[in-house]
A and B are shown apart, each in its own frame.
Chain A
Amino acid sequence: MITGEVKSKVDAVWSAFWAGGVSNPLEVVEQLTYLLFLKGLDETHTAREARANRTGEPIQNPVFTDGMDQYRWKTFKDLAPQQMYSVLVDRIFPWMRTLGGEHSAFAKHMKDARFTLPPEKAGVLARVVDGLDKIPMQDRDTKGDLYEYLLSKLSSAGQNGQFRTPRHIINMMVEVMRPTPQDTICDPACGTAGFLVGSEEYLRARYEHDIYSDPALKQHFENAAFHGFDFDHTMLRVAAMNMLLHGVPNPDIRNKDSLSSDHGEDSELYSLILANPPFKGSLDESSVAKDLTSIVKTKKTELLFLALFLRLLKTGGRAAVIVPDGVLFGSSKAHKQIRETIVEHHKLEGIISLPSGVFRPYAGVSTAIMIFTKTGRGGTGDVWFYDMKADGFTLDDKRNPTSENDIPDIIHRWHQRDEEQARQRTDQSFFVPKADIVANGYDLSINRYKETQHEAVEYDKPEKILDDLDALEGEIQAGLKRLREMLA
């Protein structure tokens, strides 16, 4: 966690941008990301210099060569505002765009990076650089948390919130799936890489020693465990930076329109998919990847994403994904087909119905988490349903913290599923046998199976009601009489 003091320093940098007229939060994050990258390059170079000094060898893979002193954060930060601006825009940016993947996965996405503060705002740049320099970023945890904090400002900022699944929901899904250091994790609509970062933190907290003491695991963790696709360049940069600051220098963060391009190279590669894909209605028939329509014939993005997950998973691979409720009960042929495919050909394991305020304030849709394993030969038995009513925040647009929170209970019950068999359909969680699901046309909405208990309200007996009516009538007559007496 970052402290209040660091928070207010970050806030000050943020305000400097706003004051400078850059008011699109995503743009602010993007510009700050470039500056953080620049600062990081200097740190890398300094570490390599130190190593060279210790060993007496020449510096290995220097980031900066002779004559590039002005490009280094430590020199650059002390330049006068106008000079700082022109060095950044005329020299550093063109150079950063040529870096390629040499220093990190992030550099790959620098191709069309632009610094958008106008020249007359050089003073703002100087204030921002000064502010960034004051924020302590010694260790990985601080950097990661700091960046997450920056990104959290996106969610409270309208339009851009669509890119972020709330962090506590991500953590819940990660805790439910329990990734292992051997997993190859993919989010085909990664946005800011929240799911990958959540998985990375989970793995580090539990397996750090194992990962770093086994060269093969370390290699896998740093270069092959994390895969994220998106087709928005800003998002790709933000995602790569997010991973970098969380200590994963080479994640596979790739520019890819997941629903339109074929997946030959990626099919059957991943052992775990965590995702909250964007649902934006329907695509053009012509732009849908053929290998997806072979699984389900539809143009609806939410169904195509389910087909995509099945395509990307290796046999035995697991998925926990957020779907809009319509996927669970939609009655079109395609809706039924994809549900039937998951239930009959693979292994559907759980449905967690989320309360509809989870994605407020920018979407009030009703959603659920679908958990399944790709088997290719069926295996669905009893499916576990959980009716989540609270996530620790009010479900209105304010989303203030509250004490009502089902998340710990969900994680606990999911991992103790063998103790769940005795539960009734009136409980918050229960099992539904596959046969029931088939009998209900593969409907997976929890309301189809949940039984509500009506509180028996005791009403008065008719005799008593009639007595009351008589008494009231008597009072009404007496009142009318009194009223008559008052009026002349």
Chain B
Amino acid sequence: MSWDQVRLGDLTHFIRGVTFKPDAKVEVGSEGSVVCFRTSNVQTKLDQSDLIAVPRDIVKRDEQFVRHGDLLVSSANSWNLVGKACWVPELSYEATLGGFISALRINSPRLDPRYLFHWFTSSKVQDTVRSFGRQTTNISNLDFARALNLEIPLPPLHIQQRIAAVLDEVDALRQKRERSIEKLRLLKSEAFKFAISTVEVREITLGEMCYITKGTTPTTLGFDFSSAGAKFLRVQNLVDGRIVHASDDLFINRETNSALARSIILPNDVLLSIAGTIGRSALVIESDGEMNCNQAIAIIRPLHSINSAYLREWLDTSEAQAQMRGSSVTATIANLSLGSISKMRFPMPDLAHQVKILIELQVIQDQIDYQRASLNHMRDLGDTLQSQAFSGSLTLRNFEVAL
């Protein structure tokens, strides 16, 4: 099946955001104000948790008010985030958009908005748009003209709607799977709480029983990263209680590693993120190899009487997370100090009971692992369907889309 390829600019146009001075910000909901979306609101979904507002008269043209069905596109950002886009749902308030984002708006009845959304956020188009980015100092700018020159496959409207319905369904499945993993983690935390309420527990502070330190960024000491050697961990390497490796991992050579001897990581260390995103943890295992870490990661090394895996599980509990939140220094970036980690109150049963609790939690952990595998399958399915949909090779049954 081959569909028309139509220039994006013949069906849509970009609307640039309004610019204003930082001191023009006003209270959200105040007289004569209008919500103004910024880069931080453009996530997978429109994030409405942290809104700002500006005086309404800053908006010069009516078209700069955001409409349902627009795509908000990050247009000035670090290069890997340029082009990132989200869907604008029905809003209960008036909103405009700030200078670093733009709205992609349909101006032709031939194009379905959800179809456009799926096409524009597909990995292929995202990569292409990113590659158009014009890099200034450390900000890359979306090249509007080149983006509008992209060609979008344009099947008849009812086919577009069906394709969008399929991809929406896959999206919904993924989100539900993610929610269900979230719930399982909550369940694990509750199970932990229950388990320690049934055994005898010594309440200690972590500082009494652990050696606690943190890493340093080698460049601050005049050392550079290298292409091989000891792995240099950052917060993004701590996922789901384990250390995961990514394509953009950093390494430091032997000499640098010795210079940063304080933060050489050993098996059975428990790592905890303490800057930016706080509270993510990981257990270090033998096979992880030589590692060091930056200053956003604390290394907690139990001295005795503590099973590292048990400690790692406890750090995930709502109780431990609340202790961290209570002592994080809220500045522009949330930080947790080593001092406050030392002061965390930690419930310590004897070693035998720690292991027993770990075994009890394993049932839930197995379920999490299973669901995570299922989530990965769903992501693969989504990617496959997406690439088929826009290459015209997706065969669909006739079905009516409820609009």
Binding site for B on A (CB under 8 A): 329, 355-357, 395-396, 398, 400, 445, 447-448, 452-455, 457, 459-462, 465-466, 468-469, 472-473, 475-476, 479-480, 482-483, 485-488
Q: Is the CB of A457 within 8 A of B397?
A: no
Interface range, B side: 35 or more
> B327 in the interface, Cβ–Cβ < 8 Å?
yes
22 sampled A-B residue pairs with Cβ under 8 A: A329-B339, A355-B331, A396-B331, A445-B339, A447-B339, A448-B339, A452-B326, A453-B326, A454-B322, A454-B323, A455-B326, A457-B318, A462-B191, A462-B194, A472-B180, A476-B173, A476-B180, A479-B172, A479-B176, A483-B173, A487-B166, A487-B385
> B253 in the interface, Cβ–Cβ < 8 Å?
no
The chain A residue with its CB closest to the CB of B326 is A452
Q: How far is the CA of A465 from the CA of B368 in the complex (A)?
A: 14
Query: Which residues of A are found within 8 Å of B177, using beta-carbon distances?
Result: 476
Q: Is the CB of A476 within 8 A of B176?
A: yes
How far apart are B55's CB and chain A's nearest CB, in angstroms? 17
Partner of B327, one of A398, A447, A462, A487: A447
Q: Is the CB of A487 within 8 A of B318?
A: no
Query: Which residues of B are found within 8 Å of A329, using beta-carbon distances?
Result: 339
Which 6 pairs of residues, A with B, have the shortest CB-CB distance?
A: A452-B326, A488-B395, A454-B322, A472-B180, A479-B173, A465-B187
Q: Is the CB of A486 within 8 A of B331?
A: no
Q: How far is the CA of A473 from the CA of B187 in the complex (A)?
A: 15
Query: Which residues of B are found within 8 Å of A462, using beta-carbon distances?
Result: 187, 190-191, 194
Which residues of B in the span 176-235 have a Cβ within 8 Å of any Cβ on A?
176-177, 179-180, 183-184, 186-187, 189-191, 194
Q: Assess A457 versus B322: contact at CB under 8 Å? Given A486-B396, A488-B395.
A: yes
Q: Is the CB of B340 within 8 A of A486?
A: no
Query: Which residues of A are found within 8 Å of B176, using beta-carbon distances?
Result: 472, 475-476, 479
> B307 in the interface, Cβ–Cβ < 8 Å?
no
Partner of B186, one of A356, A465, A479, A487: A465
Query: Which residues of A are found within 8 Å of B325, using beta-carbon distances?
Result: 454
Q: How far is the CA of A455 from the CA of B22 in the complex (A)?
A: 33
Q: How far is the CA of A437 from the CA of B322 in the complex (A)?
A: 27
Query: Which residues of A are found within 8 Å of B337, using beta-carbon distances?
Result: 447
A interface footprint on B310-328 (CB within 8 Å = 1, 0 otherwise)? 0000000011001101110
Q: Is the CB of A486 within 8 A of B165?
A: yes
> B157 in the interface, Cβ–Cβ < 8 Å?
no
Q: How far is the CA of A459 from the CA of B318 in the complex (A)?
A: 9
Query: Which residues of A are found within 8 Å of B319, using beta-carbon distances?
Result: 454
The chain A residue with its CB closest to the CB of B185 is A465
Q: Assess A459 versus B189: contact at CB under 8 Å? Given A398-B22, A483-B170, A486-B162.
A: yes
Which residues of B in the span 261-312 have a Cβ within 8 Å of any Cβ on A?
none
A interface footprint on B139-171 (CB within 8 Å = 1, 0 otherwise)? 000000000000000000000001001100110
Q: How far is the CA of A59 from the CA of B172 in the complex (A)?
A: 94
Q: Is the CB of B395 within 8 A of A483?
A: no
> B23 in the interface, Cβ–Cβ < 8 Å?
yes
Query: Which residues of A are found within 8 Å of B397, using beta-carbon distances?
Result: 485-488
Q: How far is the CA of A222 from the CA of B187 in the complex (A)?
A: 73
Contacts A472-B176, A475-B176, A486-B165 aside, 13 further interface pairs with beta carbons under 8 A come to A447-B327, A447-B340, A454-B325, A462-B190, A465-B186, A465-B190, A466-B187, A468-B183, A469-B183, A469-B187, A473-B180, A483-B173, A488-B397
The chain A residue with its CB closest to the CB of B187 is A465
Chain B, interface SS category: helix
Query: Which residues of B are found within 8 Å of A461, using beta-carbon distances?
Result: 190
How far apart are A53's CB and chain B's nearest CB, in angstroms? 53
The chain A residue with its CB closest to the CB of B401 is A486
The chain B residue with its CB closest to the CB of A476 is B176
Q: How far is the CA of A482 from the CA of B184 in the complex (A)?
A: 25
The chain B residue with its CB closest to the CB of A467 is B183
How far apart are B334's CB and chain A's nearest CB, in angstroms? 13
Q: How far is the CA of A356 from the CA of B176 in the complex (A)?
A: 41
Query: Which residues of A are found within 8 Å of B93, using beta-carbon distances?
Result: none
Q: How far is the CA of A424 from the CA of B218 in the complex (A)?
A: 42
Partner of A395, one of B23, B183, B331: B331
Q: Is the CB of B186 within 8 A of A480?
A: no
How far apart are A488's CB and chain B's nearest CB, in angstroms? 4
Q: How far is the CA of A11 from the CA of B397 in the complex (A)?
A: 73
Q: Is the CB of B395 within 8 A of A487?
A: yes
How far apart are A459's CB and chain B's nearest CB, in angstroms? 6
How far apart are B169's CB and chain A's nearest CB, in angstroms? 5
Query: Which residues of B are found within 8 Å of A486, using beta-carbon distances?
Result: 162, 165-166, 169, 396-397, 399
Which residues of B in the span 344-403 have a Cβ within 8 Å of any Cβ on A?
385, 394-397, 399
Q: Is the CB of B169 within 8 A of A472?
A: no
Q: Assess A356 versus B331: contact at CB under 8 Å? Given A452-B326, A479-B169, A479-B176.
A: yes
Q: Is the CB of A447 within 8 A of B343?
A: yes
How far apart are B179's CB and chain A's nearest CB, in angstroms? 6
Q: How far is the CA of A480 from the CA of B385 in the complex (A)?
A: 13
Query: Which residues of A are found within 8 Å of B51, using beta-carbon distances?
Result: none
Q: How far is the CA of A452 from the CA of B187 in the complex (A)?
A: 26
Q: How far is the CA of A441 from the CA of B250 in the complex (A)?
A: 40
Q: Is the CB of B399 within 8 A of A485?
A: yes
Q: How far is the CA of A222 from the CA of B194 in the complex (A)?
A: 72
Q: How far is the CA of A193 from the CA of B326 in the complex (A)?
A: 39
Q: How far is the CA of A480 from the CA of B177 in the complex (A)?
A: 12
Query: Which residues of B are found within 8 Å of A460, using beta-carbon distances?
Result: 186
Query: Which residues of A are found within 8 Å of B136, using beta-carbon distances?
Result: none
The chain A residue with its CB closest to the CB of B398 is A488
How far apart are B303's CB and chain A's nearest CB, in angstroms? 17
Q: Is the CB of B169 within 8 A of A483?
A: yes
> B332 in the interface, Cβ–Cβ < 8 Å?
yes
Q: How far is the CA of A486 from the CA of B172 in the complex (A)?
A: 15
How far apart are B356's CB and chain A's nearest CB, in angstroms? 19
> B244 in the interface, Cβ–Cβ < 8 Å?
no
How far apart are B400's CB and chain A's nearest CB, in angstroms? 11
> B239 in the interface, Cβ–Cβ < 8 Å?
no
Query: Which residues of B are found within 8 Å of A465, using beta-carbon distances?
Result: 183, 186-187, 190
The chain B residue with its CB closest to the CB of A462 is B190
Q: How far is the CA of A480 from the CA of B339 in the complex (A)?
A: 49
How far apart are B188's CB and chain A's nearest CB, in angstroms? 10
Query: Which residues of B are found within 8 Å of A479, using beta-carbon distances?
Result: 169, 172-173, 176
Query: Which residues of A are found within 8 Å of B184, using beta-carbon distances?
Result: 469
Q: How far is the CA of A475 from the CA of B325 in the complex (A)?
A: 34
> B329 in the interface, Cβ–Cβ < 8 Å?
yes
How far apart are A445's CB and chain B's nearest CB, in angstroms? 7
Query: Which residues of A are found within 8 Å of B180, using beta-carbon distances?
Result: 469, 472-473, 476
Q: Is the CB of A480 within 8 A of B173?
A: yes
Q: How far is the CA of A454 from the CA of B321 in the complex (A)?
A: 10
Partner of B183, one of A452, A455, A472: A472
Query: Which residues of A are found within 8 Å of B22, using beta-carbon distances?
Result: 398, 400
Query: Which residues of A are found within 8 Å of B332, using beta-carbon distances?
Result: 395-396
